[in-house]
Every structure is written in C-alpha cells, then in structure tokens.
Structure 1
Amino acid sequence: MGDPVTKSFSATVDTETKGTLANVVINWRVDKFKFRQHLTTAIFSGPVRVFNLGLKNSRAEWCLQMTPLHRVKNKSSGGKDEDFVSLFVCCKKLKEGEEIAATHTLRIVDDKGNVLYEPPASNKPFVHSNAGFPSWGKIEFISHRQLFASGQRYIQDDVLRIQAVIEFLVHTLHVDRLSTPMEIGASYLLDDLRKLYTSQEGCDMVLVSSDNGLFPVHKAILIARSKVFAAMLIHPTTEAENGICRIDDTDGETIAAMLEFMYTATCADLSIMAEKLVVAADKYDLADLRAVCQECLCSSLNVASAARMLILSNQHDLKRLREASLQLSIHNMSQFAEAGGLDELRQYNTEFFLDVLAQYGLLAGTKENVDSESKIPGDLRIHDASQ
C-alpha cells in the first residue's frame, strides 16, 4: 500500500480597514445675552443624534456647551482676573467604552451665516469618550473685553449666534478577503451590500419610524429578505405605489439596526438591541435575525431579566428563550421572587403565571406541590382576595 497522498494548502488574506466621515453643522442662537453674560453655569444647545448622521449603532448626541462667564487669571496682565465665554463641543450619552474621534471649528456668525469671529482651530482630532473627555473646546473662547468692545458686532439685537462645524468618524469596516474563489466572491458580495446600505444610492423607498426618522431603502432587498415586505411590495398596495412605509410601532434606532442586518447579516450592537430587534424580526418574518436575537438574549439571561424574557418569549413564540428563562427562574425561585419576577408574571397574565407555578411544582416532585401552602415559598402563594 502506497504512502497516503498529502495535500498542501496555502492562502493569502488581504485585509483592509475603511472609514467614513460625517459632517454636521450646529447653528445655535442664544438670545437675551445681556442677562446671560453674567451666568457662571453652563447652558446647552439642542442635541443632534449621531445615528441619524450615519453612526447607526450609537446612542450618542452632539451638542454645544457654553459658560457665558468664565473667570481666569490673565498672566499677561499681571495675574489679574479676566472674564471669558467658554465654549465646548459635547458628545453625550456615550456607551461604556465608546469613543468618537472628531474635529471641530467654533465661530461667531451673523444672522446670514457670515463669520464674525473664529479663533484658531486644531486639525488634530479629539477623542470623545465617557471614560475620558466627553467634551472638547475652548475655556477662553472669547474674552468679554473683546466681545463687548465698542464698535464690535458680535452681539446683534442682544443675540449671540454660535456656529460649530463637527467632522467625525461614523463607520469603520474591516474587510478580509481570502484568495479562494468562493471566499473572494462572498467577501465582495458582503462588502458591496454594506456599501449599498451605507451609501443609500439607488434607493426607491423610504421607511418612516415612530420618531419620524427617514430610512431610504431598496425594495429589492426588502422583498428578498422579508416575506412581509414582499407581500406588501409585490401587490398593488399604497406603500408599493407611493414608496413610503410608516412603521408607527418601531423607533428609528431599531429600524436602523434591522436594516443593517437585512443588508449585511450582521448587527454591530446586537447585545444592546436584541430585545427590540427580536420584536421587529417577528413582525417582518426575518427568521435569521430572530434566531440570532434569541441566542443573544439567552446568553445574557439572568434572574433579574428572567420574567421579562418569559413574557417576551410568550408574546413572540420564542421557544428556546422561554425554556431557558423558565429553567433559570424555577431553579432560582427564591431570588426570582425577591427580584419581583412573580409579580411581573402575575400582572402580565394569570394563566401564564399559574403555568410557571405548575412547572415549579413539577420540578419539585409533583404538580400537587403547587397547591400546598407548606411547600411553596411565601411569595409564591396564591391569596384569595375574599379572605
């Protein structure tokens, strides 16, 4: 018998990290500045949510922070106090460990947007994070002496107009291409679908979320990925004809994550979004998204969340999640009851609550244990309101 045939395999992986930048301009009109100039506490502009600007897996918000009166010692004037307006770009609601790199330019403008004052800006990006510095800017944005100098027009009709131009990294994609025909084809397909999703080129329909977010999409992708959308769009429906579909029971953050998965079969922030996404997946018959959400929810299950997951599994027929939640609760019934799980189930549905108690009784030995006052922990007992 000859020597066994030994095959050698080799592969080359080409890897690339690609990023996309977003640009946002915040125009902030601050009135009654004659009064505000004496305030030593910060005031804030309205927020701009970054997921509306392309950072779909973040809950962060951009805003401006101004302290109208910030007193500092001026070394050039012998250490005398001098009053300044301080101005910062803030990134609020950053998740733990989240970082956003951004550059910014801060200006005073007139009512037509013409620049009246612009201190030197740094080209170096600043990193906004909840662990480090969520805000960057200038403590000495402009001195009161310059702001209120005779002949200056920085404040017009008692209004100070601030403009901030912020550029930040919204999307980073790691692409690995293995040099075998099938791997290369699959990698390019995934890359192209992600480009199609992020560029929004050729979109022929718009989804409108409950918070009035607008999400341009491609009908072909919706039809291919969802039987519910397919039924809506291949028949003469209002949505098919006008190209607009209102989803009044789903917020923009959830729709953005759902669409990311429909285009790319991935969701970067699944651990945070799974509970909302599984509801959307059930509604639009997205079997693969439903499956990965259910696995994610099972892996993060704990005593505090078990009741909520039991209810969710009952509402959306999530059998694996129901079994995992049930087993966790009945094996840790005392802690489950102390965490308010029984009250939550009782308020949700009496029949469902009794079924959980029956399961607890069967685990203990016999179903009759459920009806035995002596063998059920105090919080489990069913009290007759008439007594």
Structure 2
Amino acid sequence: MAATRTVSTCIPVKTQGSHVFRIFGYSQHKGIGVGKFIRSGAFSVEGHDWAIRFYPDGFSQASSHCISVYLELLSKDAKVHASCVLSLVDQSTGLASSLHKTDPRMFNENDMSKFAPQEGSLISRHVFEASAYLRDDNMEIECVVTVMKDARVSETKPCPRIEVPQPDIIAHLGKLLEAKEGADVTFSVRGETFAAHKIVLAMRSLVFRAELYGPMRETAAELIQIEDMQPHVFRALLHFIYTDSLPDMDGLEGDDHREMIRHLLVAADRYAMDRLKVVCQSILSEKIDVQTVATTLGLADQHNCHMLKDACLEFINWSTMDDVASTQGFLDLKKSCPSVLVDVLLKMRTLSKS
C-alpha cells in the first residue's frame, strides 16, 4: 500500500501603505541644528501610526555634512512586524529612487528599534543639492511600509498525485518485430525466414553481437542460415529478445510444452540469453516427474543449468529410485552421461546423512 502523503500551505499576509512627505522651501529649513528634525504628518498602515523624520543638518555631529531620513513608529507601546523602503523622488521624472530598505523585522515603539534605518540613511548635502531630487527648493520623500500579519495556513489536503503509465517500450519493440520496419538482417531457419534488427539482437545477446558486429561477421551475407534449430523455437527466441517474455503457448500441452521449453533452453544457452535460460529452468523445474526427471537432469548438466540440476537431484532423492531407474530417460542418461549418476549418488548420500 502506498504511503499517505498530505500537504498544507503557508501564505504570508501583508498590508502595504505609502506616504509622500513634501517639503517646500528646503533652504529655509537648513541650519536648524544637528539632531533637529522635521516630522511628517502621521500616516496609518494596518492600524499603526508612522511618520517620516527629516534631518536637514544631519542626525549627529558625524553626519552634519549630510541630510538624514528616518521612518518612525508612533503608536504607543506597539510592536509591529514590518518592512519599509525610504526613497527620494526625482523632481524631473517623478520616479522614486531608494535611499534605504529595511527587510521584515520587529519595530518596537519602546526602544530604538522603532526607527528605520538603525544606522543612518544619509546622503551628502552637496550631492543632494546638486541633484534632481531638489527642484525649485522643493523635495519629496516617499516611504512604503509593509506590515506583516499572521500567516494564513491552509487545511491539510491529500498531496496531488499524477499516475504514471506503465512502461510501454516492450510493446513498441514487439510491434517493431512484427512490422519488420527497418529490419537489416534476415535469418533462414530450415527454410523459414525471419527479419530482425541487428542492434536489438546485439543489445540482448553477446553471441549475436559477435556474429553481427565482431571481426568474424559475414559482411557480404544477405541471409544467415540456421539449420540446427526448429523455426518455432527461433521465433520464440526472437519474441523473448524483443519483449523479454515468452510467446503465447496455449496451444501446447503436456509433453509438447515441456519439449518446447527444453529446445528454448538450448537456444538460450547457445545465444547467451541468461535471463531466458533461468525462465526455462524455472518452468522445467515445475514439470519434473518420475518419467522426465532423468532426461531433464541430463539436459541441465549438458547446458550448465545448476539450479535445474539441483531441482532434479532433490526430486530423485525424495522419489523411489527404482521407479526413476526404470525409465528410458535414465537408461539414456546412463549411456550418454554416466558422470551425472555419480552426482545423483553423492547427493542422495549427503542428504541421507543430514
């Protein structure tokens, strides 16, 4: 079962307000003294009162050659989470140019944090008076205050999920085999021809790669002959190469189906198709019986199918040896591969001691 995944969101909520402090007759305000200021009218943002302070002669003795601009929180005992931008307005264009920006922080009316900036918003008086911020002895200070409110958190909801379709490359490769489009190699298997694609075969089988692209490849051959395999077995081999699955074998039952899988195992071993080889071993291991175990054991030994060989030895150990020894398969195995019988005896002896 897939793990439950939910989501909630947090969205900042804020209120913004701006105030323009217009100062006429700038030159008439100069000389009021260091640390002296002109305060704008109070303006409200989200229920809190603010004002702009303008120091014509600077905030301190160290800044007496500058003008200074500050924002001040006026509301008594207020603590406000806010940010601000203080700007001078170009008198020729009407555009504001930022003089100071305070990121969101707490303003507390009871201490020095009620001011922004904290370290002075200064511009040289000489530079200011020669700029477009002063025209006809008039100037404008603009302040934008943004008050942060309690964030809005959504209800918890199931996380959106997009279902991804199952991989379909196998289906496309299967259609490629059926359509024969772009096929660049042809096999003749006992008179029946099969068109295929070299790159697909080489990708799936080291043996095919060597035959089709290796130094011993028959570059001039238009047709590759295969005489020691039945056409229906080669067809099944190709089907597995392209689709990684066995073809439909519903028409085959009992011994016919078992015989088909045996031939396919031989083909898998020949072309180094390891996964197909394991698939065939798995099927044959489920079809072992007294009449076929010896034949299957010989096949497993001949093609280095260790898992299938072990399955046969296990079956023999738990069966009546006399019944197995009376089968034609056992007699054939005794003649063709007597060394396997040694394995049988050793296995039985080992298991009997355990």
TM-score (norm 1): 0.45
TM-score (norm 2): 0.49
